[in-house]
Structure 1
Amino acid sequence: MKALVRSHASGDDDAFYSVALQMAAQAARHGHNRLAADLKAAVEHGRTERPSKVTSIAQPRGDLSDLVVASHPTVGLKDLVLPSSLSAQVQRLLMEQRQRKNLLDHGFPPAHRLLFEGPPGTGKTMTAAVLAHELSLPLLTIRLDSLMSKYMGETASKLRVIFEAADSHRGVYLFDEFDALGGDRASNDVGEARRILNSFLVFLENSSSESLIIAATNHRSILDRALFRRFDMVLDYALPDAKQASAVMRGRLSSLTKGVRWASLAKDMEGLSHADLVRAAESAAKSVILAGGTTVGVDDIRLALESRQAASLG
């Protein structure tokens, strides 16, 4: 039993099934033939119907458990509010991934090395979550700034672990805060930063199309220009216009709003990110609910937007 638990905890399927067969043999020796037969049948079924490695990566083990944060997003494409051009790129990504076998059979790998760039709160992380959800894959998030500070001197070897996992365990791998690694300043260093950047680019170049590799940055202007050609697609994010801002708030408030003239709030929403608008909508809704109301009005929304504008300026 101990061996069974240890093999399961380490993710060693072969050892797990081997121990299970030993248990079946022991059961047979003690005359428990029905139990032995059931165990053998379960092992055979497990080996032939072995689930995708996606299942095991959902709870990263070993070295990987300290490097990534795993999640299973529930946000879908319908929840994503983006300009039509950007939305078309996301849908193209999904189409290529859903028909990846067809593309690979013809010698064309689907786009899988992606760079998301734009101001904070404009939908980069949410897009990664949507891709994971729509493709029924786990989202594995890597904070590069934390990785570099925590594993100074070992970062390149830790990156190798992550990219090897991406090759063998299909998922969406999001390298957040990519500017910590890919800034122009890295090109001027002859030490650790430059070595890490070179290692990342080699791993990226050699990565298979098994997983989606996404690098996200808030600061495109500081990125080394040579980086852009390493990615299959670059998606540019920006602050929402009035129409998109209204859609974001309507989506979050849902049935709580009635008869709101969103055009009258255009100036109040100007300059706020998707994340700011969601927080403003939530603030307005909670204020109304706590006061015993059931409908969020234009004054409630305007007050919440003014509060977010003040917070963003601060």
Structure 2
Amino acid sequence: TLPIPRDTEKGFPLLEIQHFDISMDSLLISSEAKQQLEQIIREFKDADIFATYNLQNKRKILFCGKPGTGKTFSAQIISSVLQIPLVYIRFDSIISSYLGETASNLRKVFDFVESGTWIALFDEFDIIGKNRDDSHEHGEIKRVVNNFLQMLDNIKGDSIILAATNHQYMLDPAIWRRFDDIIYYELPDENIRKALFELYLRPIKKDPGIDLPKAVIMTQGLSPADIKMITEEAMKLSILDSRHCLGQGDIEKAINKFSRREKVKNNQMGDK
């Protein structure tokens, strides 16, 4: 394997190698998305059988959906289940202010991915995938999109290439054709939100009178990452109060605190 590639201009690493040990059971997403992920894993394991039929396993997959819905976590799960290290590439770190340097950075990343068998995740993919006709976009990025598509088309080896975006509507139409599969991550429904609360609150003793269905209703429209933040806050409130178990008040206080945070973020606090 090649050494970790670095940006020529600033010298920082262009990717990070990560290792995970996570069970598929901890991924709480829609059954459709989970089935698609499981098929990608099974196809990789059976790639040799596919080859006898002149078929290829899915190797280029696009993850779409709102932030915090499980895209990055899914990449970690694939890496963990297949026991193949994850190569994490943040697109904004590849984009360089120097003309031509971005394409060079991309080439280094693709050369590295080709040099071994990896699960490669290109995160924040929309930076590079923005519509090439967008006149507001810098000309350099448009050239990089073309370079990226060419490299994606020609990549050799057994690595699985994953790209994650929160803004799939901004992607260039030419990008969609390059992927073998597209997985859409929805916001969790009531059943999944209930399972998320149960999973994240597992470490702490709970008051028998806790009304989880109420918490589930109060968190409609929130992502798994949002619910994780709420449950962590609720547990901290209980621990700081030196109480033996977590109560309904802790959960509701944490939800209200989160709602306030969102209002501040979205400039809905009523300030002129």
Common fold, TM-score beyond 0.5? yes
Shift of residue 191, structure 1, vs aligned partner: 3.0
Shift of residue 209, structure 1, vs aligned partner: 5.0
Q: Please give the TM-score of this superposition, normalised by the length of structure 1.
A: 0.76
| 1:252 equivalenced with 2:200 (yes/no) | yes
> What letter matches 1:170 in structure 2?
T
| 1:117 equivalenced with 2:64 (yes/no) | yes
Per mean C-alpha deviation after superposition, the further-off stretch among 153-162 and 114-123 is 153-162
> 2:27, 2:138 → 1: CA distance?
41
After superposition, where does 1:134-145 map in structure 2 within 5 Å? 134-145=81-92
1:223 paired residue number: 171
After superposition, where does 1:149-298 map in structure 2 within 5 Å? 149=96, 152-185=99-132, 188=135, 191-208=139-156, 210-256=158-204, 257=206, 259=208, 260-298=210-248
1:84 paired residue number: 31
Specify every segment of 5 or more residues in structure 1 that has no aligned partner in the other structure, as ranges: 1-52
On the 8 A contact 2:79/2:119 being kept in 1, the answer is yes
On the 8 A contact 1:181/1:196 being kept in 2, the answer is yes
> 1:297, 1:139 → 2: CA distance?
39
On the 8 A contact 1:112/1:209 being kept in 2, the answer is no
> What letter matches 2:87 in structure 1?
L
On the 8 A contact 1:111/1:209 being kept in 2, the answer is no
1:130 paired residue number: 77
Distance 1:277 1:119, change over 3 A: same
2:268 paired residue number: none
| Percent of residue pairs bearing the same amino acid type | 33
On the 8 A contact 1:140/1:172 being kept in 2, the answer is yes
Q: Please give the TM-score of this superposition, normalised by the length of structure 2.
A: 0.87
> 1:215, 1:254 → 2: CA distance?
32
Which structure is larger by alpha-carbon Rg, 1 or 2?
Answer: 1
Shift of residue 99, structure 1, vs aligned partner: 1.5
Distance 1:145 1:63, change over 3 A: closer
On the 8 A contact 2:17/2:87 being kept in 1, the answer is yes
Per mean C-alpha deviation after superposition, the further-off stretch among 273-282 and 283-292 is 283-292
> 1:200, 1:221 → 2: CA distance?
18
2:269 paired residue number: none
Deviations 1:46-84 (A, max 9, x none): xxxxxxx5xxx7xx5354871101211232211100011
Distance 1:209 1:112, change over 3 A: farther
Deviations 1:209-259 (A, max 9, x none): 511111111111111122111100101112111211121121111152354
Shift of residue 118, structure 1, vs aligned partner: 0.8
Specify every segment of 5 or more residues in structure 2 that has no aligned partner in the other structure, as ranges: 265-272
1:306 paired residue number: 256
| 1:102 equivalenced with 2:49 (yes/no) | yes
- SS of alignment partner, residue 87 of structure 1: helix
